[in-house]
Amino acid sequence: MAEGERRLGWSLRARVAVAFLVTTAVAMLALGLYVQLRVHDTLEQGLRDQLDGEMDGLTAMPPAERTRAVERLAGDIHGQVLSGDGEILASSTAVIEPLVDPDDASDGYSETHVRVLDDLLEAREGTEELEVDREEVVVLVRTIDDQVVVLAVESEHTDEAVDAVRRQLLISGPVALALAGVLGYLVAGLGLRPVERMRVRAATISSRSAGERLPVPSASELRRLALTLNAMLDRLDEGLDRERRFVADASHELRTPLALLLTEVELALSGPRSQDELVEALQSADQEVRRLIALSEDLLALAGSDAGQLQLHAEEADLAALAADVVRRFGATATAASRAVSVHADRAARVAGDPDRLGRVVSNLIDNALKHGAGDVEVRVVDGPEVVLEVSDEGPGFAEERPFERFAASHGSVGLGLAIVDEIVRAHGGRIEIAREQERTVVRVTLPAAR
């Protein structure tokens, strides 16, 4: 079982957990990049605000005082004052080179690298060996009067802060992903628990446990799935019950002619029989054999219909002519029963269908009317947008609630004739109904007319 599951691939629970994990990883990566960018932009904007504040203070000073203020700058802020021709008039102590190229100096912000002294105390005491660092700075240039004032602030702390945020994300990210994977696996398990209950119940349902249904979860999606599957099980149970009844009824139908046939054979073999007696026995056996053949053909027709294989040789057929031919063949039978069968058709009524199958419809309806109805039998064919076939008699009608269902009445009374009629009519895209009109029972078949 485990080997089979491995061949089938990952379980749905594992796939949901992995999908949740991947989605969380993508979301965290995007969030981490956004946080880093926002932290960097915020800190850089803070540096620019710091430069703006310092520059506004220098702008308000007279030129002489401005140069002295620039020379006193210390810490992370550096400054220089340039003349109009690029000569350095004043510079903060830590700066040992021009902050900007005098030829390219223009008002605004920029980023560059400058070399500054690492220890201002050593610079002031004149120590020979001075440590020089190359720092990344944000530079602000502004022209004030005839002077160019340059301020620069080191962005090292900004980079360190961004690096610190990145390190925290790299440390906390895997932990968060691990927790997200475990949480996704647990949540997927909880979500699929109703499915597992449905699977366990479905594994116990069989033909011997008909009537059992799957549990219906409360979640709307799974609820709809369970209701749909239960409806399918209802249809399967109905089909199973119908097939069981069909097999039982068909067995009963077959038993009667077989029993009669066996009786005739046993009587013929029971002792010396005259030729007339043997002929009579063979004639009776012949009737029962023909009955068995007809019943077998009916069963095969219904079986083919159930399998969706009711063969139709469609062509344009005149239903009025078919009805007239069938009525002619039943003339002798009706006369022997002191009854009459007539056909009424104003004109040809053409339908697209199988002539043999449609003839079977007319034949079965007339045969049913003669066997179970009363009085004369009338057959009417009416042409129009749809072709209507009516077979009526003076009998009281059908006692069965659903006479077109297979073996609807007691054994031997209705049998399969009307069930076959219903199957053939539906296969031709038609419909069938029963009505009581003017003290006559009318079976009305409506078929699409040939185009």
Q: Name the residue with tokens 């962005």.
A: 155
- By CB atoms closer than 10 A (0-12, 13-18, 19+), residue 230 is middle
Stated pTM of the model: 0.46
pLDDT at position 405, please?
65
**Is residue 409 predicted with pLDDT exceeding 70?**
no
pLDDT at position 341, please?
92
- How does pLDDT run across 255-310, given as a tens digit for each residue? 766 777 787 778 777 777 777 777 777 877 777 787 677 667 666 666 666 555 56
The residues spanned by each domain of the chain are 66-156, 220-306, 315-448
Mean pLDDT across 239-248: 74
**Is residue 36 predicted with pLDDT exceeding 60?**
yes
pLDDT band at 122; cut points 50, 70, 90: very low
Beta strands 108-117; 132-144: pairing state: antiparallel
**Is residue 130 predicted with pLDDT exceeding 80?**
no
CATH entry 3.40.50.300 includes domain 315-448: no
Q: What is the DSSP string of 341-404?
A: EEEEESS--EEEE-HHHHHHHHHHHHHHHHHH--S-EEEEEE-SSEEEEEEEESS----SSSTT
Q: What is the DSSP string of 50-96?
A: HHHHHHHHHHTS-HHHHHHHHHT--TTEEEEEE-TTS-EEEE-TTB-
Q: Which residue has the higher pLDDT, 203 or 249?
A: 203
pLDDT at position 389, please?
93
pLDDT at position 399, please?
61
Class of the 220-306 domain?
Answer: mainly alpha
Q: Are 147 and 105 in contact (CB under 8 A)?
A: no
Q: Which residue has the higher pLDDT, 373 or 415?
A: 373
Q: Which of 8-12, 63-67, 263-267 has the highest mean pLDDT?
A: 63-67
Q: Percent of the chain scored above 70 by pLDDT?
A: 82
**For the chain, percent helix, then strand, then coil, each to nearest 5?**
55, 20, 25
Q: Percent of the chain scored above 90 by pLDDT?
A: 8
Give bridge partners of residue 446 from the DSSP assignment: 388, 431
Positive or negative torsion for Cα 93, 95, 96, 97: negative
Beta strands 350-353; 77-82: pairing state: unpaired
pLDDT at position 210, please?
67
pLDDT at position 79, please?
85
Q: Which residue has the higher pLDDT, 60 or 379?
A: 379
pLDDT at position 377, please?
93
